[in-house]
A = this chain, B = another copy of it.
Amino acid sequence: MHIAITGAAGFLGQRLVNQLLERGELCQQPITRLTLIDQIEAPQPAAESVAVTSVALDITQPGALDSVLEQRPDVIYHLAAVVSSAAEADLELGMRVNFDATRALLEGCREQELSDTRLIMASSVAAYGGELPEVLDDMTALHPQNSYGAQKAMCELLINDYSRRGLIDGLVLRLPTIVIRPGRPNAAASSFASSILREPLNGEEAVCPVPTELPMFVMSPGRVVAALIHGAEVPSEALATFRAFMLPGITVTVADMLAALRDVAGEKALSLVRHEPDPRIEAIVASWPARFETAKAKQLGFVGDDNFKQIIDAFVTEPS
């Protein structure tokens, strides 16, 4: 079992690599080879029985992935992407990385006749937008209100069409907001959602820029990585007529998140969260849908977090 991962140096990529090495098998077959792909060389964990190769390359260059695809990977995780704020700031960059590189990957798979290779791409809640129903489901139209979401939605259509034509065995998982991310606050509008938990758990102050009644649709990094792994194991026949769907996040308000923080780490941790409204961040985050019926994902065996306290507990026991 040879697994290739684009975006392998990223937060999710690294966790996925570690998890795969820990399991040692995928689809009930021993993992013999991992090819880690990123702009910079991804960290290459020590592994006894798995040949791990890390290659630094620019997937937007023609033929960049040829040498990897010639090795006929059995599973490809396509996690490389330009994030939403960068895709919004630079339309060409977003189109080139998020769309054209995905298309080139699909064409490369086609050239190598990798029709049985399971290709798993990460999409996003950002693909939804505009006027939305109170609760979204698998039949809710994608009307993205940002270029990142539009590019991801275009990739979904392309991967579905290539899969329908039997050129690839594709699957797209739309990810909820991932909480608690490790590391430091960043420029993402969703950064606070990790920050208001992660910093107090580390005894540091954090700022909450949104009203506490704001609902969000969230999933822990551990469950997201488990979903990526499960995505390799879902039989093609079960995917039916459309191969992109939302993962089963849980709906929590910021107040729920802070209450769970207090339950786990006490009043003192809670008191480290300062409330400083930022209308710009509130406007962005409030535009993300927070309530979903994820029937398809659940039927296919994808599993969300049980509750928000579990998300905090997971971070505390396994913080990175």
- Minimum CB–CB distance from A215 to chain B (whole Å) comes to 20
Given contacts A145-B241, A241-B130, contact A150 B157 (CB under 8 A): yes
- Minimum CB–CB distance from A173 to chain B (whole Å) comes to 16
Given contacts A91-B165, A130-B242, contact A141 B143 (CB under 8 A): no
Enumerate A116-131 residues with CB–CB distance to B below 8 Å: 129-131
B residues within 8 A CB of A161? 144, 147, 150
Enumerate A129-186 residues with CB–CB distance to B below 8 Å: 129-133, 138-145, 147, 150, 153-154, 157-158, 160-161, 164-165
- Minimum CB–CB distance from A68 to chain B (whole Å) comes to 23
Bound complex: CA of A17 vs CA of B224, how far in Å? 53
- Say whether A284 faces chain B, with CB atoms less than 8 Å apart: no
B residues within 8 A CB of A132? 139
- Say whether A238 faces chain B, with CB atoms less than 8 Å apart: no
Could you tell me how many residues of chain A have their Cβ less than 8 Å away from some Cβ of chain B? 27
Bound complex: CA of A131 vs CA of B142, how far in Å? 16
- Say whether A46 faces chain B, with CB atoms less than 8 Å apart: no
Bound complex: CA of A165 vs CA of B144, how far in Å? 12
Given contacts A138-B141, A154-B154, contact A147 B165 (CB under 8 A): yes
B residues within 8 A CB of A160? 143-144, 150
The dominant DSSP class at the A interface is loop
Given contacts A131-B240, A157-B153, contact A140 B139 (CB under 8 A): yes
B residues within 8 A CB of A240? 130-131
Bound complex: CA of A131 vs CA of B242, how far in Å? 9
Enumerate A16-53 residues with CB–CB distance to B below 8 Å: none
B residues within 8 A CB of A142? 141-142, 157
- Minimum CB–CB distance from A52 to chain B (whole Å) comes to 35
- Minimum CB–CB distance from A170 to chain B (whole Å) comes to 12
Given contacts A141-B141, A153-B157, contact A131 B165 (CB under 8 A): no
Q: Choose from B91, B131, B150, B241 the contact partner of A143 (Cβ within 8 Å).
A: B241
Given contacts A150-B160, A160-B143, A160-B150, contact A129 B91 (CB under 8 A): no
Chain A 65-109, CB-CB to B under 8 Å as 1, else 0, gives 000000000000000000000000001000000000000000000
Q: Which of A143, A164, A165 has the most CB of B within 10 A?
A: A143
B residues within 8 A CB of A150? 157-158, 160-161
B residues within 8 A CB of A153? 157
CB pairs A–B below 8 angstroms (12 shown): A130-B242, A132-B139, A138-B141, A139-B140, A139-B141, A141-B141, A141-B142, A143-B241, A145-B164, A147-B165, A150-B160, A154-B158
